[in-house]
Structure formats: C-alpha cells, structure tokens
Structure 1
C-alpha cells in the first residue's frame, strides 16, 4: 500500500560559509523576499503554477490566475506532494555535489557559466565511468 506522491521540486537556499557578515544579511533579506507571500503571489499571477504558501492559495486573485493553482493546493492539503524527491540514481550525491561546487565557482569565483557546466559534466561522467568499472 504505497503512498502516491507527486514531486514538485524545490530549492534549498543556503549561504556559503566564506561570505562576510554584511553580505550574509543582504542574502538573508533576498531569500526572505523570495519566499514572502507577496513574491509568491506575484509568481502565481505571472504563470508559476505552484504556490508553496497556503495563504497565497487562499487569495482569490491568485486562484483565478490558473486552474492548476487550486488543484496543486488541494493536493498539498491532502499531503500528496513531496518537495524533496531524489531520483533513484546511485550517483545522485556525486552529481549534486559536483553541480553545487561548479555553480558556486561560477557565481562567486568568476568562472564562466558554460565552462562550469562543461567541467561538471566531464567530472560527473569521469566519476561514473570509474565507479562502474570497479
């Protein structure tokens, strides 16, 4: 009797340890704004079909923006959604760690985004090939 769940994805927003205190406050404020009811309502009104806050789903204007909003809200209230669904891939942690490091280098260390993605892809393939050969 397994439970049916629909993954909706999500984000884990963190602050790297090396960021100075003044910059940390700016990042915290930006994250707080991104998850605020006002920002969520704006996303829903502009076509994003999921509102992770029940308060936004209760807003008639947000509900009127798309029939999907009401359906997803009802699924969430019935606990039919999961927000952290990892695929059953043995190398998932390696892939996640590699992408995290390369994206960090692109955002904070000036690495070209295309190069970061290329490097991540090469490292992931290399690591998976080594693991599968053993």
Structure 2
C-alpha cells in the first residue's frame, strides 16, 4: 500500500513480496497458467497478470523491487543548493514576511530544484541536517 506522507512497506515486507514475484517468474518460465500461480501463491489473478507483463517486458529485473514506492528525496548536492537559497531569506523568494514555514520551503524546493516533495519529506532533510 502506498501512502502520500511516507509510510508504505518496510524493507522486510518489500523483500518478502519480491520473493513471491520471483517465485511467480520461475513459474512463468515453466509455462504455468496465471490462475494456477495466483491460487498457489495466494495472490490475485490481476497481480499475477501484472507481474507476467513486467516479466515479459523486463525479465527478472522487471520483477525486482526498485525502491520504496514513495520516497522522493533530495541529494546532498541539492540540499546544499537549498541551504544557499534559504540563506537569502523568504523575501528573496517573494514571500511577504521573514518566516520560513514548511510550505514555503516546499515551494522553494519545487521552484529551484524542480522536485515535488510532501510536507513530511520536506521536513526529513531539514531535521537530518539540523
């Protein structure tokens, strides 16, 4: 399940689900039917169909977990640019007063770095870097 404010699956749960997809991939290679695979792995037929398409298009890599579903973030280099922008003050970015809020920082990130982040994801690097 995906959540807009972070959340989602733990690394262990992602690895578990990847294992199920890889088991399905072995069965795709053996030529088994979608309904049989779905029943044996206790997943929906629709999921197996989606995995089969990913397997056909991308092979085994198409079945692997790429990363957490909702983890957009900024790199250290982007954070350095953000610090430089924030040091100019809110008025330099068109805000009426001299208060930094998460919403304003989010706006600066979007304008200058071209990255869309949720409020929670804006807070994490700020907290991490003090």
- The answer to whether TM tops 0.5 is no
- Structure with greater Cα Rg: 2
Structure-2-length-normalised TM-score: 0.29
Structure of higher RCO (CA pairs closer than 8 Å, 6+ residues apart): 2
Structure-1-length-normalised TM-score: 0.28
